[in-house]
Amino acid sequence: MSIAELPDIQPYSLKKAEKEKLLSSYLTSLSQHHYACCEPYRKMMDGIGFDPKKDYHSIDLMFLPVQLFGMIELCSVPKEEIIRTLTSSGTSGQARSLIYLDKETAANQTKVLTKIVSSFIGTKRTPMTILDSESVIKNRNHLSANAAAITGFSLFGSTRMFALNEQMEVNTELLNSFIEKHQSERILLVGFTFKVYRFYKELIKAGIKPDLSNAVLIHGGGWKKLENESVSSKEFNNKLKDVCGIRRVHNYYGMVEQTGSIYMECEYGHLHTSVFSDVIIRRANDFSPADAGEEGIIQVLSILPKSYPGHSLLTEDRGILLGEDDCPCGRFGKYLKVTGRLEQAEIRGCSDTYDGKIN
């Protein structure tokens, strides 16, 4: 089953029963596709007794640990069909995931990302400030997690500028000029969380307070460094509001292994699954599904990965399922809280690899 067959559906419009029926059908189809086209995946599935003729519920599908994508090559399309390779971030000496995209998978990622983000900020393209340096997107065919996110969000920008230079310092003149030029418009700010915090620290150092009260900030990744700095999400938002007036902030949870299937934060601070993705919280001792309110390991599901078997993954993150179909914001689907990384897990999330220190 192709995602092209999916009807034009809004990302938070299905309740539990309808969504489970949709997801189970697509995820089973993907499992069958990867079983037929990816030999390492097929061997793993044979090892657990997977039946390619059986219809599975999403909760019963085999999951792969995300670390595998840095250990072995997992690809379900011919090499000549690969148009782009994504790499996870990782500190020195750690294996980086290699994610192979064909034209169809890349297009589906873009389509779904657009649907999800548009449901929060609207469809109108607006001036965009990227809280990073331009060098991060220098190679369009081989993108890091950071570059992949920036490239995806760039679809929402009518024009764009990079707020940081190669030394991670604020391009003060360029930023002020951009803000002045678009002072009557809403500005979209995007960046990885750690880079956004770097932007904040550079503004403090330079003693400037740009007026970004009309801006919307979307950020994700890099929380590990901020945890080490004892910066909470609430404090993060308050600092940005104090220095440049930003009031509207949307954090998101996502990973390069499932690009496009991001979990956006609503106005109540909850991370939401869409109709294209889901989460299961699993207990660490036996991987059984945890109850709502119980902390466990986050498993992520997505109907997008067709060129590689990334549709059901066990992450290195801990989280809590907060509820389903009953968030005060009115969006249907599960919503969750990410509570941190697994102990002794490989730290390779998003912008955690930037070598600079927060002064």
Q: What is the average per-residue pLDDT within 316-345?
A: 92
Residue for token pair 């369009």: 140
Q: Please, which pLDDT band fits residue 161 given cuts at 50, 70 and 90?
A: very high
Residue 11 pLDDT greater than 80, yes or no: yes
Summary mean pLDDT of the chain: 89
Q: Is 198:221 a contact under the CB 8 Å cutoff?
A: no
pLDDT of residue 135: 85
Q: What is the reported pLDDT for 2?
A: 58
Residue 329 has pLDDT above 70, yes or no: yes
Q: What is the pLDDT of residue 346?
A: 40
Dump pLDDT digits (tens) for 20-66: 999 999 999 999 999 999 999 999 999 999 999 999 999 999 999 99
Given this model, what pLDDT does residue 300 score? 98
Tens of pLDDT, residue by residue over 302-328, are: 999 999 999 999 999 999 999 999 999
Instruction: Return the pLDDT at 353.
Output: 33
pLDDT at 238: 92
212 pLDDT higher than 50: yes
Predicted TM-score (pTM) above 0.95: no
Question: When comparing pLDDT for 106 and 194, which is higher?
Answer: 106
Confidence of residue 151 (pLDDT cuts 50, 70, 90): confident
DSSP codes of every residue in 128-195: EEESS-GGGGS-TTEEEHHHHHHHHHGGGEEEEEE-B-TTS-B-HHHHHHHHHHTTTS-EEEEEEHHH
| Contact predicate 242/201, CB 8 Å | no
pLDDT for 225: 66
Per-residue pLDDT, 354: 34
- What pairing do the DSSP bridges indicate for beta strands 248-253 and 215-220? parallel
pLDDT at 47: 94
